[in-house]
Amino acid sequence: DEDLEKHDEL
């Protein structure tokens, strides 16, 4: 899952 590989939250 790409969303999880890139954690966009702080």
Q: Which residues bind another protein (CB under 8 A)?
A: 1, 3-10
What is the closest distance, in whole angstroms, from the C-beta atom of residue 2 to another protein in the complex?
Answer: 11
Torsion-angle region of 9 (φ positive above 0: left; ψ -120 to 50: alpha; else: beta): beta
What is the closest distance, in whole angstroms, from the C-beta atom of residue 1 to another protein in the complex?
Answer: 8
Look up tokens 């890139």; give the residue: 6
Give the type of residue at 4: L
